[in-house]
Amino acid sequence: MAEEKVKFLMRIDPDTDRKIKAALSRTNCRSQNEFMESAVRFYCDYLAAEDVADFLPPIFVHAMRGTLQCSEERIARLLFKLTVEISMMMHVLAAGLEIDASQLDALRWQCVQEVKKTNGSITFKDTLKKHEGE
């Protein structure tokens, strides 16, 4: 025996009605009622889903994951190279400068504040100008 359906009255604007009638021919639905029930079920499942990838075409999800992975790998390689360059610079500076731990701590605090203030946008030219003004 078929499950009894619940009667549900709904009002929609004429534009939505036209969209439903236009889309009806592209579905396997036999009626507007079946179309609306399918659409509501899909939307409820979409809201409940933890992984939206279930609703996207698999080829699109695969392409996006590949693009993201390439970007992650490129950023990781660039960060590694940057870290090597910074390490080299620190060794050169440490060998040529005499600075004690308290001065280094004060400089670190100053640099943290400067990075926060400029949102990480610091150039050597700006730093040089700041030191020339002292």
- The secondary structure of 32-93, three-state, reads HHHHHHHHHHHHHHHHHCCCHHHHCCHHHHHHHHHHHHHHHHHHHHHHHHHHHHHHHHHHHH
- At a CB cut-off of 8 Å and minimum separation 6, what does 35 contact? 20, 23, 24, 27, 29
Best CA proximity match to 86, nearest among 111, 103, 118: 111
Question: Residue 9 falls within a domain, yes or no?
Answer: no
Q: Give yes or no for a contact between 122 and 115, defined as CB atoms under 8 angstroms apart.
A: yes
Q: Enter the pTM of the model.
A: 0.43
Report the range out of 30-34, 43-47, 49-53, 72-76 with the highest average pLDDT: 72-76
Does residue 114 lie in a domain region? yes
The total of structural domains in the chain comes to 3
**Average pLDDT, whole number, for the chain?**
85
Structure tokens that stand for 71 in this block: 């970007």
Share of the chain above pLDDT 90, in %: 19
Asked whether residue 92 falls in the same domain as residue 117, the answer is no
Does a structural domain hold residue 7? no
Look-up: residue for tokens 């308290």?
102
Q: Which domain holds residue 105?
A: 100-134
| pLDDT at residue 76, rounded to an integer | 94
Q: Are residues 116 and 132 in the same domain?
A: yes
62 lies in a domain? yes
Give the mean model confidence (pLDDT) for residues 8-18: 89
